[in-house]
Amino acid sequence: MTDTLEIAGETLHSRLILGTAGYPTQRILVDAVEASGCEMVTVSIRRISLTGHGSDTVSLLAGKRFLPNTAGCETARDAILTAELAREALGTNWIKLEVIGDRETLYPDVSELLSATEQLVEMGFVVLPYCNDDPVICQRLADIGAAAVMPMGSLIGSGMGVANPANLELICRRSQVPVIVDAGIGTASDAVIALELGAAAVLLNTAVARANDPVAMAHAMRHAVEAGHHAHRAGRIPRRQRAEPSSPQLGLVGS
């Protein structure tokens, strides 16, 4: 891509962040990450091996930038403890913050999320919080120091794509920090839509990990984020309720 993504003073050349859970085999995970062109991958601190043995995720993807997440946490206290563990184990102060309030929908607990974000920022973390697609919550998270906001496209793992494009476009238009659409992306066209609406990047996992061919889908997502970003920069034509010919009507033969 011809331009870069800036988060907390760091530069990324890819606008795709890939999760590392649920792949059929470790070989497919490695190949999919390579095909995606991503520079940053997420890892769940509560689920990965940090022992340094050859089969763990950290060893497999050495050379990539790791964004640990607090998946599985339901309180600010648990999320903060998990973030501290991640900083100690992986040597990074970046954290994808998840504080889940409902086990069925996996919706964030907003009050706990705000509390955890504020405390982690004060502790020197670069916080990227997963949140619902609410412009007010996104603004509050940015105001208390989130380095980016990560509103859901739709329910985690649902593959429903961007369920509320009007809200997402509003969040992107108003946000003073990068907006990364997280959750619900199902296929390449969903990623295109997210970027066309103004998102800075997308984070996805299930869409690739559970595709019939994860490596091919990762390759598709690589091009999807590029296409969506360039389309947003180019600007779409207005929608009209009537046809409008692309060729002039004057000078036609027989007129």
The string of pLDDT tens digits covering residues 56-72 is 777 788 889 999 999 98
Is the per-residue pLDDT at 248 higher than 90?
A: no
In a domain, 245, yes or no: no
Instruction: Check residue 227 and give its pLDDT.
Output: 95
Give the active site residue among 64, 96, 229, 232: 96
DSSP labels, the chain: --S-EEETTEEES-SEEEE-SS-S-HHHHHHHHHHHT-SEEEEETTTS--S--TTSHHHHTBTBEEEEE-TT--SHHHHHHHHHHHHHHH---EEEE--BS-TTT--B-HHHHHHHHHHHHHTT-EEEEEE-S-HHHHHHHHHTT-SSBEE-SSSTT-----S-HHHHHHHHHH-SS-BEEES---SHHHHHHHHHTT-SEEEESHHHHTSSSHHHHHHHHHHHHHHHHHHHHH-PPPP-SS---SS-STT-TT-
DSSP labels, 62-76: BTBEEEEE-TT--SH
Q: How far apart are CA 85 and CA 89, in angstroms?
A: 6
Range of the domain at 224: 5-234
Percentage of the chain exceeding pLDDT 70? 92
Higher-confidence residue of 2 and 147: namely 147
Instruction: Check residue 246 and give its pLDDT.
Output: 77
In a domain, 127, yes or no: yes
* Each residue's pLDDT tens digit, 188-200: 999 999 999 999 9
* Each residue's pLDDT tens digit, 37-48: 999 999 988 655
Is the per-residue pLDDT at 115 higher than 60?
A: yes
Q: Give the CATH number of the domain where residue 141 resides.
A: 3.20.20.70
In a domain, 243, yes or no: no
User: For residue 229, which phi and psi values (nearest 5 degrees)?
Assistant: -65, -45
Percentage of the chain exceeding pLDDT 90? 75
Instruction: Check residue 151 and give its pLDDT.
Output: 97
In a domain, 95, yes or no: yes
Confidence of residue 129 (pLDDT cuts 50, 70, 90): very high
In a domain, 190, yes or no: yes
Reply yes or no on whether 96 is catalytic.
Answer: yes
Instruction: Check residue 99 and give its pLDDT.
Output: 95
In a domain, 208, yes or no: yes
Instruction: Check residue 48 and give its pLDDT.
Output: 55
Number of domains in the chain: 1
In a domain, 164, yes or no: yes
Closest by CA position to 141, among listed 98, 104, 106, 102: 98
SS (H, E, C) 87-124: HHHHCCCEEEECCECCCCCCCECHHHHHHHHHHHHHCC
In a domain, 68, yes or no: yes
Do the beta carbons of residue 223 and residue 192 sit within 8 Å?
no
